[in-house]
Structure 1
Amino acid sequence: MSYLICTFGPDVADRADFDFVSRDAPAGPAWALRAVVEQMAAVALLILLLPFFVAITLAIRIETPGPALFRQPRFGRDRRSFEVLKFRTMCREGCDRSGAGQTADRDPRITRVGTFLRRSSLDELPQLINVIRGEMSLVGPRAHPCGMEVCGRLCDEVDPRYHARHVVRPGITGWAQINGSRGAVKSPEALRHRVDLDLDYVARWSPLLDLWILVRTLAVAIHPDAGG
């Protein structure tokens, strides 16, 4: 599998936090087995949810012309970029592959089908394919666009610890999401809070924590306020 190193922002190898990233990667038999278990689970979920994939694809294509899937370069493990897969929730002309401009409240680019998909988090389902490819995990820090900006600044310029969260593969859901840090990051304080939660996850990782996050994700998907 080929990867490209994202070139947005300062080189992570030149930053003081690079050693922290290297030293604090989870390890051990449980961590090594985790990827295999997640890939098997993703295959099973993909087969189980295939009717939803077909229905969502048809709904998107009927409402607006263009592909049903949206692809965007995002940071993966060790700051390698990969193309994340999501169901397209915006009109084709409004899609932004760079990710520099985050989605706004009542964004006019979002379609009616897209509004439903975003509220229910069903737009994330194609990321099961990213898990099967080994680019993502079921649980981990959220995969941000490589060019994402917060108040006009790249994320690692806002928080020097930012790339420390890339010591593990990004996840479809994560510790930050079930603790209320979901959606667009609209301020430096919100970004720092998300990084705090992501680094806390890396430091505390265990199979039981992943299981708890998956269970809590279902509650958050059903009732958004359940995430805190």
Structure 2
Amino acid sequence: MIRAFDFVFSLLGLVLGFPVLLLLTLIGFLDTGSPVFRQERVGRRRKTFTLVKFRTMKLDTASVATHLACSSSVTRFGCFLRRSKLDELPQLINVFKGEMSLVGPRPCLPNQTELITAREALGVFDVLPGITGLAQVNGIDMSQPEYLAEWDRKMIDEMSVKNYFIYLIKTVLGQGSGDRIK
């Protein structure tokens, strides 16, 4: 049932949000010259996929977990995108393709071995990663891998249609800060 919600909401978001996506792409092009950011992430069953987001950092920024990135790498437009969470909109493509869900554990980088080990031990890779989830709306980032994996497991164990919508609504209303930059 959740996959059906993901499919419908991602399709609606892409179609209805197309003008916004186009505008943000154009502004992003003026900001960095390369508005779309693609990065390999670890998904369900530890299969890697290419995550798509709007670029919020300078082109020469190292590919590291967000909590390890330097705030001076974020552009002015990138600050706006992060604060408004609009940088996440292109991930609707990943949701539409079935690589992600709207709600699930945030996908990690392949080099985040501590987090991968902790998630593997708790069976977190049994589900699709998501754009938002329990950890994000509670301000828990990837800086504490084992703690994050425990929250991911808790979310999986308590997942229901009701909680799916609660996490989405809390995210839209701006609750939690998700992955923070130092």
TM-score band, normalised by shorter chain:
0.7 to 0.9
Structure 1 residue 124: Cα displacement: 0.7
Equivalent in the alignment of 1:24: none
Structure 1 137/202 Cα, relative in aligned 2: closer, same or farther at 3 Å? Answer: same
Structure 1 residue 181: Cα displacement: 1.0
1:161 to 2:118 alignment: yes
Structure 1 residue 73: Cα displacement: 0.7
User: Which residue, 192, 197, 202 being the options, matches 2:156?
Assistant: 202
Equivalent in the alignment of 2:41: 74
Q: Which runs of 5+ in 1 are unaligned?
A: 1-32, 149-153
Instruction: Give the counterpart letter for 1:41 in structure 2.
Output: F
1:113 to 2:80 alignment: no
Structure 1 residue 162: Cα displacement: 1.8
Equivalent in the alignment of 1:89: 56
Q: What are the within-5 Å matches in structure 2 for residues 170-189 of structure 1?
A: 170-182=129-141, 185-186=142-143
Structure 1 residue 37: Cα displacement: 2.4
Structure 1 176/156 Cα, relative in aligned 2: closer, same or farther at 3 Å? Answer: closer
Structure 1 residue 179: Cα displacement: 1.5
Cα deviation, 1:107-162, whole Å, max 9, x if unaligned, reads x22111111111221111100000010000010000111113xxxxx2247xx432
Report percent identity of matched pairs.
Answer: 35
User: Which residue, 17, 22, 42 being the options, matches 1:54?
Assistant: 22
Tell me how many residue pairs correspond in the alignment: 176
Equivalent in the alignment of 2:165: 211
Distance 2:70 2:62 in 1: 16
Structure 1 residue 191: Cα displacement: 1.9
* CA root-mean-square deviation: 2.1
For the residue of structure 2 that corresponds to 1:220, the secondary structure is coil
Instruction: Give the counterpart letter for 1:88 in structure 2.
Output: R
Cα deviation, 1:152-185, whole Å, max 9, x if unaligned, reads xx2247xx43222111000111011112214xx3
Distance 2:105 2:145 in 1: 12
Distance 2:100 2:70 in 1: 27
TM-score of the two chains, using structure 1 as the length reference: 0.71
Structure 1 215/103 Cα, relative in aligned 2: closer, same or farther at 3 Å? Answer: same
Judge conservation of contact 2:115–2:145 (CA < 8 Å) in 1.
no
Instruction: Give the counterpart letter for 2:118 in structure 1.
Output: R
Distance 1:209 1:156 in 2: 24
Structure 1 residue 219: Cα displacement: 2.1
Cα deviation, 1:93-114, whole Å, max 9, x if unaligned, reads 2252xx36754352x2211111
TM-score of the two chains, using structure 2 as the length reference: 0.87
For the residue of structure 2 that corresponds to 1:92, the secondary structure is coil
Distance 1:44 1:101 in 2: 29
For the residue of structure 2 that corresponds to 1:93, the secondary structure is coil
Distance 1:56 1:95 in 2: 23
For the residue of structure 1 that corresponds to 2:73, the secondary structure is coil
Instruction: Give the counterpart letter for 2:76 in structure 1.
Output: R
Distance 1:156 1:89 in 2: 24
